[in-house]
Each structure stands twice: as structure tokens, then as C-alpha cells.
Chains A and B, each alone.
Chain A
Amino acid sequence: MTILQVNDLGITFGGLRAVDGVSFQVSLGEVFSIIGPNGAGKTTLFNLVTGIYRAGRGSIRLAGEDVTQLAPHLLVRRGMARTFQNLQIFFRMTAIENVMVGNHLSERTSLLADLFALPSVARQNRRTRERALELLERVGLAHHAETTAGELSYGVLKRLEIARALAADPKVLLLDEPAAGCNAVETEAIDRLIGQIAESGVAVVLIEHDMKLVMKISDRVLVLAHGKRLAEGSPRVVRNDPAVVAAYLGEHGAREADRAHG
């Protein structure tokens, strides 16, 4: 079932068409990867889809509804969550508090109730904490729950961001380079995690430079170059597309991808 539908999306920065008429669709339970050389417009496309930038043209439909001009915090309400290329962690909060903030939308207390610490706040805090702990367990970070995020390593924080995004109970999860800067073991863990998330019925949209990872876990791949769609299809089709090879993968990349796919 199609959950996210992006149509002819575009934005211009001072004459540069950073994203130029890109369209794609993502279904529930699918891993959809966006690849392309640096500066191809991948993160800009993410920022458009998640409402951080306002689209200059085109439309975004989430679960059939037009959400093109919605602010980020409203998009989350409709089931879209994301992680960031450059970590956006709440560094002064503990790991579990980071995930608890991710639960913000399901928390049912008012500012006044919070001020006067009504019993409902304590109940809510307990529920939120339990759920956050479950999510930390799911990404394998339960033992770091009470550690201040600023003291955790980069690879750990990458997974913490995923747990925080999952806390919002998304139908569409956008991951911006989740394995960047991670070692082989951490990449392996993130690979498994993404597979599990997709299996649970969430649509995963992935930006990633690790070609082995992309070719292994993606159901479909969109290749961007200069803000435009260069190719789209299964990993096998994309990998063998001459235009893609020329623009991005290069001879070496194509060999790597081949090897990964077996």
C-alpha cells in the first residue's frame, strides 16, 4: 500500500535547482533508498519531504492526504519521522530522555498539569519511560539508558536517533545516512535494525553512501544527480544502468555492489 507519494517536487536556492521535479512513491514495509553523488540534492529532498523547507513546486501526499506545506511538528502527527545526517541529539539529556522526547506526541498532559505535578503526569512519565526503554532495547542500547547522550559514541548515537524517531510511531521513517561514520560492526547492527523496522510494516526511506548496505537491504533505489531523477528501480536494475554507473558508482562502485549482492 502506497503511504508516501511525492510528485514533481522542486526547490530553488538562488537560481540553483537543488531539487528539480522529483517524483517517487513508497509503500508500507518497503525499504526505499535514495542515492547519488554529493550535492545531488538527497538531503534537500529529505528536508522538503519533512517540511523543513517549503516546496517551491510539486506536492507531497502522506496516507492519501496532501501535506505539502505542513510544518515539521505537524507532519510527525501524521506519521512521518526522521533522523539527521549530522546528529541532532539532545546532548544534555540522557539516552532514555532522548527517546522519551520522541514520545512527545502520545503524551497526554497539559502545561498546567505539568506545573502542578498532578498524578496524571507521574502516570504519563512512567508509561513514557517504559516505552522508551522498550525502544532502547530494540536498538540494543538499554544498558546506556541513564547515560548522558553527550558521553556516547557516534555509532551509538546514530542508533539512539533511530530509537527516538521510532518513539513517534511513524508510518514513514526517513533515515539520513544512518551508517555514516559507523564501523563494520555498527553498520551490521543498523542493517539488521532497518530490516526489522521495515518488516514491522513501516516504510523506510534511506539516504546512504554505503553501497553494500544499500544494495543489500533496499527493495527499490532512486538515483539522483543534479537534483533530478537519474534512475529508479530494483538494486539490480539500478546497478546495471549505464547512466548511473557513469554518474555515480564508477567502475569500482559497480564491482563493490556486485560483490555485495552475491
Chain B
Amino acid sequence: MLNDSLKQLAKRLAEKEVSSVELTTEFLKRINQLNPKYNAFITVDDEKSLEQARAADRKIAAGEAGPLTGIPVAQKDIFCTQGWLTTCGSKMLSNFVSPYDAGVIERFNAAGAVNVGKTNMDEFAMGSSNENSYYGPVKNPWGINAVPGGSSGGSACAVAARMAPAATGTDTGGSIRQPAAFCGISGIKPTYGTVSRYGMIAFASSLDQGGPMAKSAEDLALMLNVMTGFDARDSTSLQREAEDYTRDLEKPLLGLRIGLPKEYFAEGMHSDVEKAIEQALDEYRRLGAETLEVSLPNSPLSIPVYYVLAPAEASSNLSRFDGVRYGYRTEYYEDLRDMYRKTRGEGFGPEVKRRILIGTYVLSHGYYDAYYIQAQKVRRLIAQDFKQAFTQCDVIMGPTAPSVAFDLGEKSSDPVQMYLSDIYTSAASLAGLPGMSVPVGFGEKNRPVGLHIIGNYFSEASMLNAAHQYQQVTDWHQKMPGL
């Protein structure tokens, strides 16, 4: 049952072979058994989860079940969840029991899914290795010394270790795709504006986007059907017709034009990753797709641009954490200003402080044009590259990350090296395009490799189709780490 797809689990539930309470108990048992070793969850609350499972069983008995009713889903601790501790991986919110539900949580609740716990993450989603969590690093199920990637590392680990059939993540510059690649699972960041940001704790608002993480493309499609949709409480939520993301899964790939950016297949990609990616592309050619070279000439600039824009937005967003209305407040202070400074000095970790400082600096008088405005201009050039590329191809493919998961501690003292692990993912984020990662084999030390698929705006169904067809003829997505 641990390796079942969401569809198979729903079938077992529908046929009364298993109840949601039994299913939830099974996964909670696994979480409680494995979490001390992997640290994928910050909060687990068996009673709350079982209460939801009982409600789901009543729904199933009444014949009101949807595709996710009764299915356990792990929620990234960035989504405000009423009555649950919601920490965002930070000391600043270490006492924050959310008084309301995020839009995404409401949707899962309405669908009858069971929340099996809040997953660990880099503090305020700032990181690529999960080492920036106040709650300690998450371990990679494919190698206890390896990072799981970040910032949605807890969610990636939970799915990879089969502690949950599926999970939510958020992606600002690669935070769904890179951990999905490192942990050998599938993950998709949909087009900016399709998943509500209401109650999703903000990092960089023009880039942040929620999305699902699961074993397969089919599971992602079912998750997206629940997660997406207009939310008036998010000012950037798009008003669009509801989509069925499973609709194109079975289409043949004959004639699919796959663009391979020459900048992604250049210096920087490790040879073990390259080998797995080339094999995956061969598989696509056998499936009838054609590959052609495209160019994204400005994409090497996406990391510098990202590290101006994301910190700038973060410095503004994180100004709300002041110790007045909720969250951590320092114990001893002289006056209001002292309280703010100590609260923020003690409540934020080093990486979050660094990014706030970068953001404050690039937005400050005298530097605004040279950094912030220049970065916004190059952002447009990066977006235009994609527009041009999509006149030649239907999807873009390449590696999700330049290497397989690196070791814990390997890059934690060198932020620049850490930032560069998002070299392939951040460009799509800046353009607002959908991007996904699917497992396509193993590299060094038997650690997973992810294939990055970037699609045009709102082409998630075609991307999922491309991933699903690949997963019909390969079994990388079904590989389970020996724990």
C-alpha cells in the first residue's frame, strides 16, 4: 500500500478494502517510526489527523467521496493551518498556532484529504538544502548523509520515504523541483497565479507559488485539480476556468517538440546527471518526440537577478515579524525600537537575516536603480528568451539541478555555492512559467537525478502528459529507498 498511487488508494477506499482511519494510521505509524531519523515533519498530531480521517470515512460511506477523500497528504509548514502550529521553519513563528486556514488548506479540507502533519523546510523557504531550518536539517532517504534539497525538503523526504502518499510544497526559485529531484520524486510548480497564496507565508510574492509533490505525474495531476483555482483573497490569483489536469495524460507523444537549451547542457552539469538526462531524452525520442536545440541566452543571469529580486521582496514581506501581533518576542528590551531589533535579531536565522540585509541594501537610496531596477530589466530579458524558445518547441527539458544531492554541510558555509544549485530552476520562476521535475535515474552514490520540464504558461496538462507517458515506460518513479 505504501507504494500505491493516489488512484489505487482511492480505489481501495471506495471498495471498502481499507478505511481512511486505517490508511491514516498506517502512514502515521510510518511517520512516527521514521521521523526521528529523517526529521521530515515539524508537527505530527495523530488525533487531529484521525479526526479528519473519521470525517472522510463518513463522507465515503455517504457516497460523497472525491478523488482525494480520505487520502493522507503532508502539508508544508508554510501553509497556515487552523489549530496547527505553523512555524515556516523559523524560531520567529515557533509559537504560532494559526487562527485560520490558507486557501490551499481549505481546498484540501473541502476535498476530504487528511492532513498527516506539517513538513520541515528551510526557514521562510530560504534555502536549497533544508539546513536552514530552526528545527534542524532533514535527511535524504537515499543517503542519510545527503541533503534532501530545499526549501520543500521535508515534503520531498516524506514522499520519498513513503511517510505520505503526497505532499504540498512551495517554489520561489526551485523549492519544489530541486528537492523533488534530490529525493527521486515528482513535483510541479504551476504557472504563477494558479494556486492561491492566501495564508501561504510570503517570501517573495512575485515568485512564490504552491504546488504538489508526489510519486508520479498522475498523482500530481490529481493534486493540482484540488489545489488550483481562483481565490479573491490573493490579489495575484488568476480568474480562470477550472481545468482537469488529468485530461491529457494518455495522449501519445508523437511529434512533441522538446527544446534543449544549449546553456543548460553546458559546463556545470555533472557527468552522472548528464548521463541520466541523455538516457531520458533517448526514451522520449523512442516515444515519438523530437528534440531540438534552443537558446536561453540570458538564463545564466537568473541567479544574480533572483538574488536581487527575491531578497528585495523578502525584506519587505518579513518586516511584518515585529513581535507585536503574533510570534516570537524577545524577553528583555528597553524601548520599542530595541524590542523590534532584538526580536528580529533573535527570531531570524543567519540566512534569513542575510537575505533581509541584501534586500534592504538593494532597495536603499542610491542603489535602487543599479540593482533593483536593473534586475527587473534583466528579468524581462529572461522571460523574453522563453517566449522566443516556445515559438520553436512545445516543452523545454534539461537537468533540474547540476548535481545529485550533495552532502550535509558541504555547501552550508558558502551561500554562493548553495545558490548555484538553483541555476536551472530560477529562470522559469522569474518568468512565472510552470516547471516540474521527474525522476529519471541515479547518479553518484546511488542518489536520484531529476529531469526538469518547463512548459509555456498554463500548459501544465501537456507537461504532465509528457511526464506520465515517460512514467508508463520506465519505473524510476516507483523506486523506493531501502530504509
Bound together: no
Residues of B within 8 A of A (CB): none
